[in-house]
Amino acid sequence: MTARRAVRLGVAGRVAHDGLGGRVISLAVIPADAGTHGRGRGAAGRWVPGQARDDGVGGGVISLAVIPANAGTQGCGRGAAGRWVPGQARDDGVGRRSAEHGFTLVEVMVSLLIFGMIAAAGVAILSFSVKAQSATGTKLDDLGALTRTMSILSADLGQAALRGTRDESGAPLPAFVGESGSDVAPMLRLVRGGWTNIDGAARSSTQKVAYRVADGALQRIAYPMVDGAPPLPPAMLLPNVRQVRLRYRLGGAWSDRWDGVQGVPLPEAMELSVQRTDGLVYRQLFLVGSGYAPPAREVQNEAP
């Protein structure tokens, strides 16, 4: 379609390239029945390029810069006699508007890809932090349980008392009975002193306690009375226990079992080895009773 036909038919919004400097120009976007403001007709009744105006119909700005692609001079149009008359050319801003006010599909896809990579990295870091915090909390809880177990054992063994007991049937029991390990239940039974009586109950300050391994956990069993009373519900001290080994020391020698037949009611020390379900083994030594040899009595030589 030529520039003259475009003017005559009033085709709006058509653009072309001038072939010189790469400018985008508007082709005769003038309706056939538009008014005559800023323009005039030639001898042959054709439209002559003039200034831009509002056509009063669609509210758009109409450019009358009619410049064909093969024009020799920049910014000219044909007059009524078929000669080219100067007009006014401008950039319609169509190509520039898309770059300034929007994004292409490739740009949107690249942005989504980058956002997805950042989100995936954030999720991975968050997941690692949660797992690390959970593992740290579990390890700290297990370490706390191990520390409490050793503290309770140290208190019980350190305050072991030379006091025999009786079981529920009334049969006498030694003050301290220890087995070789968790294969026998209970593996350790003794009487300890220093049982705090905060409520002022009618009971002794000594207490019979026992230890055993049941359901993969080290348990402590307490008795409300030293003689003849049934035990209280067991309290779990340390979970995830596979095996426990005990040894008892007296006079520099170690024994795998203690029942007081050695002529001494209490051993001097006890060794505890705890094997956990994860394969770790904890070993600790405890003093029993005072744990020290009685001090030598001083003999005062009286003068004759």
Same domain, 168 and 263: yes
Same domain, 161 and 283: yes
Same domain, 281 and 161: yes
pLDDT of 18: 47
233: domain CATH number is: 3.10.610.10
- The answer to whether the beta carbons of residues 69 and 16 sit under 8 Å apart is yes
pLDDT of 103: 86
Number of domains in the chain: 2
User: Over its length of 304 residues, how does the chain's per-residue pLDDT go in tens digits?
Assistant: 444 443 333 444 444 444 444 444 444 444 444 444 444 444 344 444 444 444 444 444 444 444 444 444 444 444 444 444 454 445 555 445 455 668 899 999 999 999 999 999 999 999 999 999 999 998 999 999 999 999 999 999 999 998 888 888 888 989 999 999 888 889 999 999 888 888 877 788 899 999 999 999 999 999 998 998 899 999 999 999 999 999 999 888 999 999 877 778 899 999 999 999 999 999 999 999 865 445 555 444 444 4
Q: What's the burial of 169, exposed, middle or buried (CB within 10 Å: 0-12/13-18/19+)?
A: exposed
